Amino acid sequence: MGSALGITVKFFANFREAVGQEQVEVAAAMDVAALLDELVRRFGERMAKQLYESGSKKLCETVNVLVNGRGINLLSGLDTKLKDGDVVAIFPSVSGGG
Amino acid sequence: MGSALGITVKFFANFREAVGQEQVEVAAAMDVAALLDELVRRFGERMAKQLYESGSKKLCETVNVLVNGRGINLLSGLDTKLKDGDVVAIFPSVSGGG
Amino acid sequence: MPDVGIHLKGEVSLPDLFQKLRQDIGENVGAVGCFVGVVRGLSEDGERVKFLRYESSEDAVKKLEQIAADIEKRPDIWRVMIHHVVDQIAPGEDAIYVLVAGRRRDDVFRALPELMNRVKAEAPIWKKEVTEQREYWVHELAERK
Amino acid sequence: MPDVGIHLKGEVSLPDLFQKLRQDIGENVGAVGCFVGVVRGLSEDGERVKFLRYESSEDAVKKLEQIAADIEKRPDIWRVMIHHVVDQIAPGEDAIYVLVAGRRRDDVFRALPELMNRVKAEAPIWKKEVTEQREYWVHELAERK
């Protein structure tokens, strides 16, 4: 399933800390929900706690997921389809600027 | 009538230009109205035009008269009494600061 | 203590004032706002400006101090500086510097326009604009409109 | 053209940015507003801050450019500069500089808070606060409240 490319996932801020890497490759995931499941499998409870409101599969309000630079809130949310070569970015609310 | 002190009148901005001096002494004036009459006598039509709305004895809105540092609008206007040693300042609306 | 002054051209600059502000900055300061008033090259009527001449009375410093102190006494304001140049000033040159250091950006964003409005309305400082066509005190221009 | 950047500490300063802005200033500029975001020594919870660590994504410069360009295209705005320091920053040190040059003071007083609000909400820049007690990403602090 899927070419050698797979899906690239980039992490920022607390997600980068939890993962210990700036980005990972995931061979295949049908949609964003499936991708996040895979990330929780790989990185465990800490990732789950950072992604979801406690005890649910609802994304925390402070979590942003972009697919190829577009927020999934403007696409189909967790049901947004993924394909080989997609780049997914995961990060919390931004807070720059003193 | 009045000691040697008299009344000191300080001019700023366009009034200073019209008078050609930073300040003058006026021997005596009962009130602000009388003082302004004296200034118009000394300095002529240009002073009248700068003080009064055209053809009236009403002060221009942009003219400020201070007696000992207090605006005559907070005192008795043109009827504000004067006495020897008073310092009167006459200036237009301020406009500092770029 | 507010830090204010009336200066001739060249006696004061934004970098110098900012550096002075930084030398003694409270641990609760999270925001510094600055305003610089610059002489425009075109008048309100579109005439080319040769220069502005600023004049002040001897009470100007006291009034600037009072304005600055009123704002500086707010709990979330650390320091207010107001420095005015009273001189002949060419287009592109600075006429006034206002700096405010405070706790949050909202504190300084609120203070800056208030300070400028009060300086314009209350400080005994006048300006005469000299264009290629004519010269006039700026309050006279306002009267004509 | 807006002038933006992401820098390490020491690569940028308000005096330098202000001087750069002055080197090419339009004849219709009558007002320059600056904002400097400074790291506070006390956290929101009153803990003593050791430092903040800022992090950004590679898209940050592009986003700052977009924010600056949106404001700079207004007819009465001449130039917008946004420069962010992304590094480990101690209390009293600067994290961001925003400068706006425009026609009148109202133009710059309106633009400055808009620029800062947009940078805070849109630029992919995060910060972690390290106090004497603990460390946390600032969005986590917001969540707890």
Mutate to test the interface with C, among D19, D20, D34, D52 (most CBs of C within 10 A): D34
| Nearest residue to C68 (alpha-carbon basis) of C6, C24, C130 | C6
CB contact under 8 A, C27 and D91: yes
Which H or E run includes D78?
strand D77-85
- At residue A1, the pLDDT reads 41
Confidence of residue B4 (pLDDT cuts 50, 70, 90): low
- At residue C48, the pLDDT reads 96
Is it the case that residue C143 has pLDDT exceeding 90?
no
- At residue B5, the pLDDT reads 78
The separation between the first and the last C-alpha atoms of chain B, rounded to the nearest angstrom, is 46
Mean pLDDT of A45-60: 91
Closest chain C residue by Cα to residue D22: C92
| Nearest residue to C16 (alpha-carbon basis) of D14, A53, A21 | D14
Mean pLDDT of D40-53: 94
Cα–Cα distance for residue pair A47/A82, rounded to 1 Å? 20
Cα–Cα distance for residue pair D20/B94, rounded to 1 Å? 32
Averaged confidence pLDDT in chain B: 91
- At residue B2, the pLDDT reads 41
CB contact under 8 A, C121 and B10: no
CB contact under 8 A, B14 and C140: yes
Report whether C55 contacts B10 (CB < 8 A). Answer: no
Q: How far is B98 from chain D (nearest CA, A)?
A: 7
Confidence of residue A5 (pLDDT cuts 50, 70, 90): confident
Q: How far is A25 from chain D (nearest CA, A)?
A: 18
Cα–Cα distance for residue pair D30/B98, rounded to 1 Å? 7
**Touching status, chains B and A (3+ beta-carbon pairs under 8 Å):** no
Is it the case that residue A98 has pLDDT exceeding 80?
no
Contacts of D44 (CB under 8 A, 6+ apart): D141
Output the DSSP codes for C98-143.
Answer: EEEEESSHHHHHHHHHHHHHHHHHHS-EEEEEEESS-EEEHHHHHH
Q: What values do phi and psi take at A80, rounded to 5?
A: -60, 125
The separation between the first and the last C-alpha atoms of chain D, rounded to the nearest angstrom, is 40
Distances (CA, A) of D115 to D69, D96, D110, D112: 10, 12, 9, 5
Q: Tell me the domain boundaries of chain D.
A: 3-144
A55 near C CB under 8 A: no
- At residue A2, the pLDDT reads 41
C3-144 folds as Aldehyde Oxidoreductase; domain 3 (3.90.1170)
Above pLDDT 70, what percent of chain D?
A: 97
Residue type for D61, please?
V
Confidence of residue A25 (pLDDT cuts 50, 70, 90): very high
Is it the case that residue A74 has pLDDT exceeding 80?
yes
ipTM of the prediction greater than 0.95, yes or no: no
Strands D125-131 and D88-89: unpaired
Q: What are the residues facing D42 on neighbouring strands?
A: D48
Confidence of residue B84 (pLDDT cuts 50, 70, 90): very high
What is chain B's alpha carbon radius of gyration, rounded to the nearest angstrom? Answer: 13
Confidence of residue D44 (pLDDT cuts 50, 70, 90): confident
- At residue A55, the pLDDT reads 82
Is it the case that residue D62 has pLDDT exceeding 80?
yes
Tens digit of each residue's pLDDT (9 = 90 or more) over C34-85: 999 999 999 988 999 999 999 999 999 999 999 999 999 999 999 999 999 9
Contacts of B10 in chain C (CB under 8 A): 57
| Domains of chain A from N-terminus onward | 7-92 (3.10.20.30)
Mean pLDDT of D95-117: 98
Q: What are the residues facing D127 on neighbouring strands?
A: D54
What is chain D's alpha carbon radius of gyration, rounded to the nearest angstrom? Answer: 16
Task: Determine the angle formed by the axes of helices D105-122 and C105-122, rounding to 10 degrees.
Answer: 180
Is it the case that residue D9 has pLDDT exceeding 80?
yes
**Longest CA pairwise span in chain A (Å):** 46
Q: Which residues of D touch C (CB under 8 A)?
A: 14-15, 18-19, 22, 25, 27-42, 91-92, 101, 103, 105-106, 108-109, 112-113, 116
Contacts of A41 (CB under 8 A, 6+ apart): none
Confidence of residue D144 (pLDDT cuts 50, 70, 90): low
Contacts of A98 in chain C (CB under 8 A): 30-31, 105
| Nearest residue to C100 (alpha-carbon basis) of C82, C88, C83 | C82
Q: Of the spans A45-49, A68-72, C95-99, C134-138, which averages the highest pLDDT?
A: C95-99
Mean pLDDT of D88-101: 97
pTM comes to 0.91
Mean pLDDT of A70-94: 95
CB contact under 8 A, A96 and D116: no
Is it the case that residue B55 has pLDDT exceeding 90?
no
Confidence of residue B97 (pLDDT cuts 50, 70, 90): confident
Cα–Cα distance for residue pair C3/C79, rounded to 1 Å? 8
